[in-house]
Amino acid sequence: MIHKIASKIGMKKLRDVYRPGHLAVSIELFPPKTASGEHSLYEHVGKLVEYHPDFVTCTYGAGGSTRDKTLEIVRQIKLRFGIPVASHLTVVGSTVDQLRDYLRRAQAGGIDFVVALRGDPPQGQSSFVATAGGLRHANELVELIGREFPGFGIAVAGYPEKHSEAVSFDSDLLHLKNKVDAGADVVLTQLFFDNRDFFQFRDRCAALGIGVPIVPGILPVTNLKQIQRIASLCGSKIPGKFINDLSRSDLPQWQMQVGIEFALNQVHELIQQGVLGLHFYVLNQSQAMLAILEGLQIRSSRTA
Ligand code: FAD
């Protein structure tokens, strides 16, 4: 169902999304592999947009494997639902000319923001290898976008528990500062389950002079197996009590309810501690996310 026509919206500034007195909500999706997955994705998005998320993002498959699909999904979401969209973009497997080509097409497609990343290596490759004629790190991509495509708002990735390859927390933070100094408007964090990691990370960013919003990445957990797989991929610790609570029953409804309650508690504390936004990894589902948005009474507080 087409809610609004995208052309009425125009490009929004990412910095304006994060402002005092407004809790910005962004929702991250990934490109489905099948036509039925895509159909169901738009159905879920249709339910989520009732809560007025500030923007929706779509990931860019490892090694650029979903390049065209990513662009198509964000373009379609903007067209069908009339909300701002961000395309993730990684440097993996692309020359600078290929990155430019993607950015040109994204610009022509009315994409508002770019989540600028180095990216994970393609499947079967254990470490990142720079492409000949390409870039090495996300800060170089931020520079390229800022220099040649200044109309895009830029988000970058931050790691409350440190990036797995970083030699130290301090060096990781310095590299994050480079990305912000290169022109990033906001830092979206890797998912985490212990808010203390986020608060320490945010304090350390502030101490280094990183002045852009640091937006926590939240995974609404729907089952134990899923959280264990995802956390092992991105290196996030899962609190023992959360695992115990999830393990108490195999019933899907039980596990989803525990996940929703955990996310609600996590998010309430983050809001109390002054975050300007929340970035949700919804994994192309809406049930848990809708319960969380409802629990936060986001519908009433955001449309008032
Ligand atoms: P970088 O910022 O380049 O950092 C990578 C590593 O190099 C870090 O250890 C850093 O400390 C170090 N480093 C950074 N800059 C320099 C420098 N100039 N010199 C030396 N060392 C440096 N992956 C995907 O494939 N597709 C996606 O769509 C995607 N979306 C994501 C969205 C979010 C919000 C987050 C948090 C992550 C996402 N990822 C995605 C995962 C991300 O690509 C990986 O974590 C990747 O390993 C690092 O990407 P980065 O942009 O943080 O890289």
Mean pLDDT of 23-38: 96
The length of the chain, given as a count of residues: 304
3-state helix, strand, coil in the chain (%, to 5): 50, 15, 40
Mean pLDDT of 284-300: 85
Tally of CB atoms within 10 A around 304 = 5
Q: Give the pLDDT confidence of 17-29 residue by residue, as tens digits.
A: 999 999 999 999 9
Q: Which of 14, 30, 60, 117 to mutate to test the pocket of ligand 1 (most atoms within 8 A of CB)?
A: 117
Distance 35 CA to ligand 1 centre (A): 29
Atom of ligand 1 nearest to the CA of 59: 28
Pocket of ligand 1 (CB under 6 A): 59-60, 62, 88, 90, 115, 117-120, 137-139, 157, 163, 165-166, 171-172, 175, 178-179, 188, 190, 217
Distance 42 CA to ligand 1 centre (A): 28
pLDDT of residue 1: 36
Nearest alpha carbon, ligand 1 atom 13: 175
Report whether 281 contacts 217 (CB < 8 A). Answer: yes
Atom of ligand 1 nearest to the CA of 140: 18
Distance 266 CA to ligand 1 centre (A): 24
> Residue 50 catalytic?
no
Q: Give the pLDDT confidence of 243-275 residue by residue, as tens digits.
A: 999 999 999 999 999 999 999 999 999 999 999
pLDDT of residue 302: 53
Residues forming beta bridges with residue 24, ordered by sequence position: 277
Distance 43 CA to ligand 1 centre (A): 30
pLDDT of residue 303: 43
Return the amino acid letter for 243. Answer: I
28, 140, 143, 161: which one is catalytic?
28
Q: Is the pLDDT of residue 4 over 60?
A: no
Q: Could you give the maximum distance between any two Cα atoms of the chain, in Å?
A: 53
The residues, ordered by sequence, that sit 6+ positions from 55 with a Cβ below 8 Å of its Cβ are 12, 17, 26, 27, 83, 84, 85, 86, 112, 113
- Chain mean pLDDT for the chain: 92
CA 247/CA 234 separation, integer angstroms: 21
Nearest alpha carbon, ligand 1 atom 29: 59
For residue 179, give Cα distances in angstroms to 13, 97, 138, 141, 235. 18, 21, 7, 9, 22
CA 200/CA 198 separation, integer angstroms: 5
Distance 119 CA to ligand 1 centre (A): 5
The residues, ordered by sequence, that sit 6+ positions from 104 with a Cβ below 8 Å of its Cβ are 149
